[in-house]
Structure 1
Amino acid sequence: MENRFLNIFPGLSEERAIELLYTPMAQLEDASERYIAAAHLVNFPSERAIDALLAAVENRDSALDNRIVRRKAVETLGRLKVERALPVIRASLQDEDNYLVENAAWAIGEIGCSDPEILEELTALLARPRQSYRTIIQTLAKLGYTPATGRIAAFEQSPEPPIASAAITAVGRLSGERAGLERLLPFLQHPNVNARRGVIQDLMDSEYFEAIPRIAACPVSAVFRLRGIRHLADAGVPIGAVSFQQVESGLDRVIVDHPRFLEPVHRYERTPHLEELIEELYSTDFGRCYLATQTIIDHYPDAGPALVASFEAAGHNDYGAHYHIVKLLGWLRFGEAREIVVGALHDRRPQFMKSRSAAAIALAELGDTRVPADLRSCLDSFIWELKYACLIALEHLEDPTGAQIALQDSDWVVRAKAERQCTAPLAH
């Protein structure tokens, strides 16, 4: 379970969270308090906390605020893998709230279930309108329910790409036939950003190791691509299905994350003005951000001051634009922005984590003599992506000390990168 962002309310005690869940909505100062409590109890897997979460799921008050709490409580029970919650979660599959049904299906998959009656109830949801078919299909595949294969196959031609790709994946997993999995690859260049993001998860679920280079070139956030490649590396390298050398190329490209490494899905009919391009850096579709980034590099080499102005006005607090601006300041060699880039390297805000890796690459591009010390200081981080980025940056600066330090790192990918650097000539 990814736990970097779970304990985001450190001042909230278990006792207070439980108390909040039992408090009627009308008695709360803020309607969101019970939702926060349901989310926070993932950090306290005690029997009392579980009882409070179960009570929250069984609270059938139809008010929207309560429905939202029920959804979060089901999700938390799933994250905690509470087996005794299965009967309550199963009952939620019949609820009229489709979002609660989706969370219930997901939670059953997290907890694990081999009861054919429950699995058949899950499958029956595929015949109900307006359900979250992707989540249901993923859960059935994860639980290995082969009787659902035929009914899932009907969704392979869904007009909704994330559903179609999930169905292709599930049929492959349940039938054992991998030949059809290559049909997933075109989704990596689909115009719909959700299709691109979703198929990376599908390729992970399929353990389709051959897709690593294609994932690296997919124009979505580096977070999605790194998650996919790292999962496939962790699964494939120990069994010899893929070598670290094969993985390394994809990782390097995603960590450096220059838009020239990507296969774009968008085009401009004309070259936009710089102001328009900077606005594109705030898009939630990173495919558009990467196209804007490449266009700025190609056509606006003096964009540094405008980028800094945008950063100071809004980008400092927008984690997407923050990332792209930091990268651009490096590629444009805008040394006047060194303080911004160093600040990004040491930014501890969880949502801005990917900007730390971006800053490492940007600092290497800036080439300041003080840079190696900043980069080496990050090699004791718990964030493997940051350490990997620092190794690439230090190699770019022809500084071998980072690789020597990282030879003892706790993360095998970081160690493998360091070993490769120590045995290969320095890059120029």
Structure 2
Amino acid sequence: MAERFDNLVEGLTEDRAMSVILADPETLDRPVDKYMAATRLGASDTEESLDVLIKAAELSPEHLFDRITRRKAIDALGRRKSTRALPTLFRSLSCTDEAAVINAVDAITKIGAPLTESNQRSLIKALDGEDIQKRAVIQAFCRLEINKAEETIRPLANDQNPLVCGAAKAYLARVHKETSGLDDLVPQLIDPIAGRRRSAVIDLGDAGDVTRLEALVTAPVSMSLRARSAFQLVDPNKTCHVPDEYSELISQLLQDNPQHLKLRQEWVCPVDAIEIENNLQHRDEARQYGGALSLMNMDKRSRMELINEIKQKLWSDYVTHYYLTSVISLQGLSERSDLICLALAETIPQYTKSRIAAAWGCLRLRLTDQKPLLEELSVSANWLPLKWTCRQVLKQLS
């Protein structure tokens, strides 16, 4: 989500963003400022900035920087959630830039306004694109719960591409209450290909079938992605209340112990310092979890030495930051409780997962001095999993 990277444009004022986003890129010393401006205006709330974003969403795609800016502007319009952007977004569905079309579909979904018959026909027509575009369109029909697309989408539940058929099965489950097709998505949660695992997590969340929660909890996929889908299932209205019957599973998911995940043997590296460090930096989170598991399996002295060494080199990397915080929390390593406190206090959005791990660490290590910050987050945190975690931790600390 663009919100995760708001800190990258903090120094860009709204006025400056509006002045450069529509400028000829050839006249700018830093043409990249154009699409950074789109991200900045996505975080604004003035009508003037919305007007500028709408204009930017129709920039000519001929120049590379204008083309990228148009994509970013379309994405930003979804974040603004104004129905005034819908005519522009629906026009964007017919452009030849697939990335812009996908962003337009996502933006229409985020706005969430009722669609006219004409709007629905435009969306159905966008199913004619490549598989990634096709998946985005199916997801839109699913999340907007539009039942009139059944005739077109039903055959896609048998598509050879799992990204397409998974989205179609989620649509049939959520909109037409046909959940049997979801049985095929559960084995996909441990597929050797990371993208297929991630798509299955997303599809099960979209499907709305809470009986699939346990399968989501143990999937070797990024905790944040699983949490997003899980909260769709147990708290669809975003109330920060999880029914008692699901609380234990949600706690298990958010504590994110790699010992409880369904990891293939090839994802788990040898208990070796170099191998563990390499796994923690791997692009596939299943291998990251494998590295964290091997770190947990080290003897305590070696584990502490490696944690200290990796901390010195990679603490600023938000992925490694998370796994170090998580292992310290899960194993109650009081020697590095200072890192738990540092992680809990970290406000940069990319480190939000680490704040969850740190909150559980406060409970395990009985860091009662952190209660004021936990109390603040239990009220003000933007991300529901973090807010819910802090509330659970405070209850148990008391």
TM-score (structure 1 length as normaliser): 0.81
Range 154-163 or range 381-390, more displaced: 381-390
TM-superposed deviation, 1:385: 4.1
Q: Which residue of 2 aligns with 1:426?
A: none
Q: Which residue of 2 aligns with 1:338?
A: 337
Compared with structure 1, are the counterparts of its residues 61 and 267 closer, same or farther at alpha carbon in structure 2 (3 Å cutoff)? closer
The 5 A counterparts of 1:3-402 are 6=6, 9-111=9-111, 112-129=113-130, 132-235=133-236, 244-267=243-266, 271=270, 273-301=272-300, 302-313=302-313, 315-331=314-330, 334-365=333-364, 367=365, 371-381=367-377, 382-383=380-381, 385-386=385-386, 388-389=388-389, 402=397
In 2, Cα distance between the equivalents of 1:39 and 1:237? 25
Taking only aligned residues, the RMSD between alpha carbons, in angstroms, comes to: 3.0
SS of 1:60's equivalent in the other structure is coil
Q: Answer whether contact 1:266 1:288 (CA < 8 A) is retained.
A: no
TM-superposed deviation, 1:319: 0.9
Q: Answer whether contact 1:219 1:286 (CA < 8 A) is retained.
A: yes
TM-superposed deviation, 1:330: 4.3
SS of 1:155's equivalent in the other structure is helix
Range 267-276 or range 191-200, more displaced: 267-276
Compared with structure 1, are the counterparts of its residues 250 and 55 closer, same or farther at alpha carbon in structure 2 (3 Å cutoff)? same
Count, aligned residues: 391
TM-superposed deviation, 1:375: 4.3
Kindly provide the CA deviation profile for residues 284-319 of structure 1, in whole angstroms up to 9, marking residues without a partner as x.
322112222222322444221122111211x21111
Compared with structure 1, are the counterparts of its residues 269 and 9 closer, same or farther at alpha carbon in structure 2 (3 Å cutoff)? closer
TM-superposed deviation, 1:354: 1.4
Larger fraction in helix: 2
Q: Answer whether contact 1:304 1:329 (CA < 8 A) is retained.
A: no
TM-superposed deviation, 1:323: 1.0
In 1, Cα distance between the equivalents of 2:237 and 2:185? 19
TM-superposed deviation, 1:123: 1.6
Identity, % of aligned pairs? 26
Q: Answer whether contact 2:235 2:242 (CA < 8 A) is retained.
A: no
Q: Which residue of 2 aligns with 1:406?
A: none
Compared with structure 1, are the counterparts of its residues 270 and 105 closer, same or farther at alpha carbon in structure 2 (3 Å cutoff)? closer
Kindly provide the CA deviation profile for residues 314-364 of structure 1, in whole angstroms up to 9, marking residues without a partner as x.
x21111111111222345554443333322222222211211222233455
TM-superposed deviation, 1:218: 1.3
Kindly provide the CA deviation profile for residues 162-208 of structure 1, in whole angstroms up to 9, marking residues without a partner as x.
32211111123343433333333223222232333233332222221
In 1, Cα distance between the equivalents of 2:284 and 2:277? 14
Compared with structure 1, are the counterparts of its residues 86 and 42 closer, same or farther at alpha carbon in structure 2 (3 Å cutoff)? same
Kindly indicate whether structure 1 or structure 2 has the higher relative contact order, using CA contacts under 8 Å at least 6 residues apart: 2
In 1, Cα distance between the equivalents of 2:232 and 2:264? 25
Range 190-199 or range 304-313, more displaced: 190-199
TM-superposed deviation, 1:71: 0.8
Structure 1: give runs of 5+ residues left out of the alignment. 404-428
In 2, Cα distance between the equivalents of 1:351 and 1:362? 19
Compared with structure 1, are the counterparts of its residues 57 and 4 closer, same or farther at alpha carbon in structure 2 (3 Å cutoff)? closer
Compared with structure 1, are the counterparts of its residues 346 and 102 closer, same or farther at alpha carbon in structure 2 (3 Å cutoff)? same
Kindly provide the CA deviation profile for residues 118-144 of structure 1, in whole angstroms up to 9, marking residues without a partner as x.
322322232334652111111123344
Kindly provide the CA deviation profile for residues 98-124 of structure 1, in whole angstroms up to 9, marking residues without a partner as x.
101111222223333523233223222
In 2, Cα distance between the equivalents of 1:269 and 1:237? 35
TM-superposed deviation, 1:20: 1.5
State the one-letter code of the partner of 1:379. E
Structure 2: give runs of 5+ residues left out of the alignment. none
Larger Rg: 1
Kindly provide the CA deviation profile for residues 214-248 of structure 1, in whole angstroms up to 9, marking residues without a partner as x.
2111112221222222232223899xxx9722211
State the one-letter code of the partner of 1:42. G
State the one-letter code of the partner of 2:179. R
